[in-house]
Structure 1
Amino acid sequence: MPGFDAAVEAGVAAFCAGTESPSDDEVWARLTGAGVEPWLAERLLVFLPMAYARRMLPDVAFPDAVAAPGGRVSLPAEPVFAAALARAAWADRGEFERIALRSSEVGAVNNALNAGSQMSDLALAETRLLADLHPVRPGDGGVPSPRAVFEGLLRGHGVTLGGETNVDAKLFVHPARPGTVMVQIDFAVSHPALAVPWLVESLAGYGTTWREAISAAVHKFERGSLHPLVEGLLRPGAAPGQVVRERYAHPGGAFDLVLGPQIILLTDRPVPPAGPLLDRLLEALRAEPLTRRVHGLRLFAAHRDGRLHTNEVLLDGEAWPGGEAVVAATPAPLPDGMVAIRLFAVLAPAPD
């Protein structure tokens, strides 16, 4: 069964979009209109309010099933409910107001409290559905799990997960114009060789459906960041043709610079290679102390009509002012229009 972490984020976004609390029909339209299959949209509509109600009212004895015309539905056996319950553990107040308060169970609790009952004494009856749920269909229901995709990409390169190598991928939803979806995916790796507990690569994706937006972000990650992580940290030798490896002399000791390809965004025009900019960044990096562990270096710079619009240089996931100063002093790759470049590299201590 696929993971439904991303599907739950799609559900939360459908409940929370707009200035007013949406009707069930509006939530349904937002989900299915962005490619969520009906069987999954229905479960998000039913189970998200139930999950949020249980997190908001932990002292109430909630039933572990719902009643439907075709029989009882066990909530612990429903993976969408389990994913919704996990997500509700870190919900904010606005989400609780939009999602939990629409639950009929919360309404029943409020009625009982108004009648003089104590919260700790409440034991609710099972919610009754007016119709049976749609049958579960094979697959992800239109919302791929970035974590499952990430794990699959790593296994495809022979990386063994668990033990000392742990990975995660979290999806965040950003406001977008009507008819489109914008997501950010944080791909995270934990490994004893890293200089930080978790190295995180964040990429954005756009599309008219959740699948398109998630796939766009995953594609950028696969093109630019996956292979340096594999070759420089997780399984050296597994992706030699996908990276550039060169020796980097640093005052703290030599490193192998494992570099992914230059990613060009926001333009279809030819863009000069960013090699000279990278050389200046590496020269500036010699002034930074580096431990004899694996470090991550990421550059994202966007220009509009020759002027710097976005300047992000991260060292081990943190903003690196020295690198940003180098980018600020470097001319735009194109004199006009929009253009963005992205580079990601891993610095692995070179063998003696």
Structure 2
Amino acid sequence: MIESLAFDDAVEVGVAAFCAGAEPPGDDEVWHRLTGAGVEPWLAERLLIFLPMAFTRRLLPDVSFSDGAVAPGGRISLPDEPVFVSALARAQRADRGEIERVALRSSEFNAVNNALHGGSALSDLVVGDTALRADLGPVIPGDGGVPSPRAAFEDLLRGHHVLLGDDTKVDAKLFVHPAPAGVVMAQVDFAVTHPALAAPRLVESFAGHGATWREAVGRAVHKFERGALHPIIEGLLRPGAAPDQVERERYEHAGGAFELILGAQLNLFADRPVPSAGPLLNLLLDGLRSEPLTREVHGLRLFIAHHVGRLQSNEVLLDGEPWPRGEAVAANSPAPLPDGSVAVRIFGLLVPVGGA
């Protein structure tokens, strides 16, 4: 059986398709939102059917629901359908607005609602197999048009011969953001848990857009690969596996010396070359000397965005948390370009010299 984990991201895309717009969309509209963004028909069909069923089970936990559905070609076992299993897991963390949009459209919900109007109690209700109008299309091997960023992360690590120990975990989750018609926006949070980290988890988030989910997720993964993957490998997971993909410098701190391992500077939105953010980074590192640092691995991220010289976004994170002193330094620094739009992102790890 195909692992349900492979469809967690597709389910997230399905929930977004149901919840987009001011009014609840019809099935045809949801179908076009999914297939128009590259979701393969066999997967879009299952999202349309299984998401309302799964969310109804979350909405009405006291009702006894069948574990199957009946199609013209025979009975379908829901626990054997990985898209349904992923949908059921996603329903457990759905908010009220999502539940109302998705669950209230299911035939099972309507059956329960009719029974309640007839005087039945929830705990007495038993809902039989849902009848499907047509047989489901066969599952086609692959991701169904919604790539798994976690699988991509794991592939990148395998490409650098990284083996994860029992105390090290990686993950990547897709979050869907509203976007103009014809465009989809994917935010992917890449996470690492490692005993050498100062924080419980290191999370680096990247966004990508495109006409399809394959394009959007692919662009987010590409940014992660360019900007954060290699410092994570060199500083945590397998030192020496990507030496030519990072910059290194010794960093002296009152708490002891560190090695700063930097990824590439990512320049966004600009239509011309962007100067190095090295001078700003040096100012941040100077300011960091006033902060206590444990002899653990610390993450440092800079993201600034300007429009016609004015600061629009200012994010300086130390161990995943906003660093006010660093944000003040960034706010008082000149824009990388005097006009137009530009954003700069830099990520690095501070690794204790001599080990943690």
With structure 2 as the length reference, what TM-score do the two structures score? Answer: 0.97
Return the offset for 1:84: 0.7
User: In 2, distance between residues paired with 1:16 and 1:210?
Assistant: 17
Q: 1:94 aligns with which of 87, 93, 97?
A: 97
Matched with 1:164 is: 167
Alignment pair present for 1:144 and 2:163: no
Matched with 2:354 is: 351
**Paired letter, 1:180:** V
Whether the aligned pair in 1 keeps the contact of 2:274 and 2:337 (CA below 8 Å) is yes
Superposition map of 1:127-138 within 5 A: 127-138=130-141
Matched with 1:201 is: 204
User: In 2, distance between residues paired with 1:239 and 1:60?
Assistant: 54
Matched with 2:299 is: 296
User: In 1, distance between residues paired with 2:58 and 2:323?
Assistant: 39
Q: 1:320 aligns with which of 319, 323, 332?
A: 323
Alignment CA distance shift 1:161-1:122 (3 Å)? farther
User: In 1, distance between residues paired with 2:80 and 2:161?
Assistant: 32
Unaligned runs of 5+ in 2: none
Return the offset for 1:162: 5.5
User: In 2, distance between residues paired with 1:161 and 1:99?
Assistant: 38
Matched with 1:244 is: 247
**Paired letter, 2:81:** E
Alignment pair present for 1:341 and 2:344: yes
User: In 2, distance between residues paired with 1:51 and 1:311?
Assistant: 40
Q: 1:31 aligns with which of 31, 34, 46?
A: 34
Return the offset for 1:328: 1.1
Matched with 1:65 is: 68
**Paired letter, 2:274:** V
Whether the aligned pair in 1 keeps the contact of 2:14 and 2:47 (CA below 8 Å) is yes
Matched with 2:20 is: 17
Unaligned runs of 5+ in 1: none
User: In 1, distance between residues paired with 2:60 and 2:238?
Assistant: 46
Whether the aligned pair in 1 keeps the contact of 2:258 and 2:352 (CA below 8 Å) is yes
Matched residue pairs, number?
352
Matched with 2:216 is: 213
User: In 2, distance between residues paired with 1:156 and 1:230?
Assistant: 11
- The more displaced of 148-157 and 92-101 is 148-157
SS in 2 for 1:30: helix
Return the offset for 1:296: 0.5
**Paired letter, 2:281:** L
Whether the aligned pair in 1 keeps the contact of 2:9 and 2:148 (CA below 8 Å) is yes
Return the offset for 1:329: 1.3
User: In 2, distance between residues paired with 1:35 and 1:152?
Assistant: 22
SS in 1 for 2:204: strand
Deviations along 1:144-180, one digit per CA (max 9) or x if unpaired, are: 1111211221222222235111111111111111111
Q: 1:44 aligns with which of 42, 47, 66?
A: 47
User: In 2, distance between residues paired with 1:272 and 1:18?
Assistant: 40
Return the offset for 1:237: 1.1
Alignment pair present for 1:309 and 2:309: no
User: In 1, distance between residues paired with 2:39 and 2:136?
Assistant: 15
With structure 1 as the length reference, what TM-score do the two structures score? Answer: 0.98
Superposition map of 1:89-128 within 5 A: 89-128=92-131
User: In 1, distance between residues paired with 2:311 and 2:255?
Assistant: 32
Deviations along 1:191-221, one digit per CA (max 9) or x if unpaired, are: 1111111111011111111111111111100
**Paired letter, 1:247:** R
Whether the aligned pair in 1 keeps the contact of 2:42 and 2:136 (CA below 8 Å) is yes
Deviations along 1:263-282, one digit per CA (max 9) or x if unpaired, are: 11101311111111111111
User: In 1, distance between residues paired with 2:50 and 2:101?
Assistant: 14
Alignment pair present for 1:154 and 2:154: no
User: In 2, distance between residues paired with 1:88 and 1:158?
Assistant: 36
Matched with 1:272 is: 275
Percent pairwise identity: 71
User: In 1, distance between residues paired with 2:74 and 2:237?
Assistant: 48
User: In 1, distance between residues paired with 2:22 and 2:332?
Assistant: 42
Deviations along 1:105-150, one digit per CA (max 9) or x if unpaired, are: 1111111122222211211110011100111112101101111211
Matched with 1:232 is: 235
User: In 2, distance between residues paired with 1:95 and 1:18?
Assistant: 12
Instruction: Give RMSD over aligned pairs.
Output: 1.1
SS in 2 for 1:176: coil
Matched with 2:185 is: 182
SS in 1 for 2:270: coil
Whether the aligned pair in 1 keeps the contact of 2:164 and 2:237 (CA below 8 Å) is no
**Paired letter, 1:67:** V
User: In 2, distance between residues paired with 1:4 and 1:256?
Assistant: 39
Matched with 1:284 is: 287
SS in 2 for 1:94: helix
- The more displaced of 146-155 and 6-15 is 146-155
